[in-house]
Structure 1
Amino acid sequence: MATDAPQPPDGTGAGPGRPTTELFADVQRSAEFGELRRAHRSFAFPLTVGFIAWYLLYVLLSSYAGGFMGTTVVGNINVALVLGLGQFLTTFLIAWFYSRHAATRLDPKGAAIKSRMEEGS
């Protein structure tokens, strides 16, 4: 396969302009990489838990609160439709928030780590 680059005899993955396995391990243990992981996790985990809870609430209400979900809001629009559309809106909002978070907090840290790795190889 074209993406399978031959490994050097020492098996480290090192080559001209390529970081070594040791460099990857050093970066992974660094405080800067830990900050990057914390920045990602502190955003992604709470939002994931919140969205799953919101989704499960919708499913449970649909299954066990049919009367409530069938309550008319306006015309032929009921609570189930409003909450269902809210699921789509929430998905797009989370994607937008994550995009902003990544652009402002994750990408600069990742780029700095990458540039230092490329310099150190």
Structure 2
Amino acid sequence: MVEHVEYMEAAPRGRSGGPAGPQRRSASRAEEVDIAHACERLWIDPDFVRLRRRYALLSGILITLFLSGYLTHLLLSAYARDFMSIALTGPVNVALVSGLGQFLLVSVLTWAFGSCARRWVDPLADRVRSRMEAEHGTGAVRP
């Protein structure tokens, strides 16, 4: 017994399952142009410029503090061996305390970054995000 199978010619589809061809391309192109214009307006927005500056300043300060602490420990270990070998209590010397102090330094800097970001960066980022979403609809401007 042979079954008869009819093949239906389906309309070409794009990657996302939507219609392919000129309609899909023009809609996609228009969306890309809208996003590009929104990004251009975002880059010159005074709040966004202020947000980038605050983030860069905060990151720069904390990176400088971390590298200063790490390089101090490294240079003291390499060039001030007598100082680093001073025993504080029993087998615990300055080098061990300084090495463990690196963990404390990273923890404190991480806490400071989170605290400062919540206070100075996050409110500004929320304001910029809400303005862009109100202007272009929720989720319209996503990288």
User: TM-score, length-normalised on structure 1?
Assistant: 0.83
Matched residue, 1:111? 126
CA–CA separation in structure 1 for the residues paired with 2:61 and 2:123:
22
Q: CA offset at residue 58 of structure 1?
A: 0.8
Task: Flag the structure with larger Rg.
Answer: 2
- Counterpart AA for 1:10: R
Alignment of 1:72-91 (within 5 A): 72-91=87-106
- Mapping of 1:1-12 within 5 angstroms? 8-10=27-29, 12=31
Structure 1 unaligned runs (5+)? none
Aligned to 1:61: 76
CA displacement at 1:29 relative to structure 2: 1.2
What letter is aligned with 1:28?
W
1:24 is matched with 39
The residue identity in structure 2 corresponding to 1:79 is V
Q: Which amino acid aligns with 2:28?
A: P
Alpha-carbon distance in structure 2 between the residues aligned to 1:37 and 1:120: 20
Q: Say which of 47, 56, 66 aligns to 1:51.
A: 66
State the distance in 2 between where 1:49 and 1:110 align: 24
Tell me by how many angstroms 1:13 deviates.
Answer: 3.1
- Name 2:51's counterpart in structure 1: 36
CA RMSD of aligned residues (A): 2.3
User: Which among 7, 13, 33 is matched to residue 32 of structure 2?
Assistant: 13
3-state SS, counterpart of residue 32 of structure 2: coil
Distance across 2 between alignment mates of 1:84 and 1:11: 56
1:79–1:9 CA distance, 2 compared to 1 (3 A) = same
Deviation at 1:9, TM superposition (A): 3.1
Q: CA deviation at 1:12?
A: 4.7
Unpaired segments ≥5 residues, structure 2: 1-14, 17-23, 137-143
CA deviation profile, 1:31-58 (whole Å, cap 9, x unmatched): 1111111211222102211211221111
Bigger mean CA deviation after superposition, 52-61 or 4-13:
4-13
Question: One-letter code of the match for 1:13?
Answer: E
- The count of residues paired between Structure 1 and Structure 2 equals 114
